[in-house]
Amino acid sequence: MSDWLRDWPAPAKINLFLHVVGRRADGYHLLQTVFRFLDFGDTIRCEPRSDGRIVTATPLPGVPPETDLTVRAATALREATGATAGVTLHVDKRLPMGGGLGGGSSDAATTLIALNRLWQTGLDPAELQRIGLALGADVPIFVHGHTAFAEGVGERFTDIELTPAWYLILVPDVAVPTPEIFRSAQLRRDTPAIAAADWRPGFGHNDLETVACKLYPEVKRHLDWLRRYGDARMSGSGACCFVEFDQESAARAALAALPADMRGFVAAGRDRHPLSMI
Ligand code: C5P
């Protein structure tokens, strides 16, 4: 099949922990986190167009096309390479916006990887990561493509391997704006940094959780429900929350017990991004 016809996967990520260890002079926060991919996400199709325009066929509610992260990624790739081709981007959206699962960032990363190949612009992964970082702090991990302990604003990686696991992810019916969480006066920004080599599964917590739960009680309600199954945590700046299971059947049984006013899904953890092999 031609690459122009294929669906390019844009998986979700979860943050197994997320510590805020400081703040840069420009206001961005210094983080330590572990990103893990899920076998669940959006897909993107790229359709060539001859008029040289970059167009989204699937605009998101409330997002002007020029601020859409896939459109911005395609535009940034053209600016970095001098490419002039046009494209229509089709996103099959399954990941929630403002969900902390990296949906918009993953779409941007997949657009960069796909168009770099389709347009034969030949950028290496480090260059794609640099372009991605300018689009959002969570974009580089998706270009990097391997489960990693991340530092800086989330762009310096130490790869890790994790044992297979299943997750029940709950999707509260709220969109949490990331900047609102990071600018809160109540955010702790002084969690002591650890060495990447010292991280173990289960270690840490999510420093953004307290603030998100206060501003969005729905997040707290979902976390409280999940805690009956173990060490439930919020992903990123929310709103989604997850708990880990060794067995798929246990994760599915928990999903089946979900109250009627909550939504969620079960997904497997993945150490590799599906496009990391190409
Ligand atoms: O990079 P991204 O678009 O995901 O970040 C959204 C906002 O979240 C930033 O503009 C910034 O206010 C805040 N942020 C931060 N520190 C980070 C990541 C994001 O302060 N490491």
Of 159, 184, 217, the residue at which a domain comes to its end is: 159
State whether 145 and 170 are in the same domain: no
Residues with a catalytic annotation lie at 13, 138
State whether 111 and 178 are in the same domain: no
State whether 112 and 192 are in the same domain: no
pLDDT at 1: 56
Residue 277 falls inside a structural domain: no
Mean pLDDT, the chain, integer: 96
pLDDT digits (tens, 9 = 90+) for 48-59: 999 999 999 999
State whether 77 and 109 are in the same domain: yes
pLDDT at 154: 83
pLDDT digits (tens, 9 = 90+) for 181-192: 999 999 999 999
Closest residue by CA, ligand 1 atom 2: 136
Return all residues near 259 (Cβ < 8 A) that are at least 6 apart: 225
State whether 198 and 243 are in the same domain: yes
pLDDT digits (tens, 9 = 90+) for 239-270: 999 999 999 999 999 999 999 999 999 999 99
pLDDT at 194: 98
Mutation test of ligand 1: which of 13, 18, 29 has the most ligand atoms closer than 8 Å to its C-beta?
29
Closest residue by CA, ligand 1 atom 13: 179
The CATH code of the domain that includes 188 is 3.30.70.890
pLDDT band at 3 (very low <50, low <70, confident <90, very high): confident
State whether 71 and 184 are in the same domain: no
Helix, strand, or coil (residue 45): strand
Which amino acid is it at 54? Answer: I
- 178 is in which domain, residue-wise? 166-270
| Residue percentage of the chain with pLDDT more than 90 | 94
Which amino acid is it at 249? Answer: S
d(CA 116, CA 114): 6
Residue 275 falls inside a structural domain: no
Ligand 1: list residues with CB < 6 Å.
Answer: 28-29, 31, 136-138, 153-154, 178-179, 182
State whether 122 and 201 are in the same domain: no
Return all residues near 233 (Cβ < 8 A) that are at least 6 apart: 15, 16, 17, 205, 206, 209, 223, 241, 242, 243
pLDDT at 68: 96
Residue 112 falls inside a structural domain: yes
State whether 173 and 122 are in the same domain: no
What mean pLDDT comes out for the span 44-51?
A: 96
Residue 276 falls inside a structural domain: no
pLDDT at 40: 98
d(CA 169, CA 13): 11
State whether 176 and 100 are in the same domain: no
What mean pLDDT comes out for the span 88-93?
A: 98
Return all residues near 88 (Cβ < 8 A) that are at least 6 apart: 46, 47, 48, 49, 55, 56, 57
d(CA 129, CA 180): 25
Of 110, 128, 159, the residue at which a domain comes to its end is: 159
pLDDT digits (tens, 9 = 90+) for 97-107: 999 999 999 99
pLDDT digits (tens, 9 = 90+) for 131-168: 999 999 999 999 999 999 999 988 899 999 999 999 99
Span from the CA of 28 to the centroid of ligand 1 (angstroms) = 6
What mean pLDDT comes out for the span 119-141?
A: 96
> For the chain, what is the domain count?
2
State whether 145 and 196 are in the same domain: no
State whether 236 and 136 are in the same domain: no
pLDDT at 25: 92
Model-wide pTM > 0.75: yes
pLDDT band at 2 (very low <50, low <70, confident <90, very high): confident
pLDDT band at 278 (very low <50, low <70, confident <90, very high): low
pLDDT at 47: 97
The CATH code of the domain that includes 93 is 3.30.230.10
Of 131, 159, 187, the residue at which a domain comes to its end is: 159
State whether 197 and 259 are in the same domain: yes
Q: Which atom of ligand 1 is nearest to the CA of 30?
A: 21
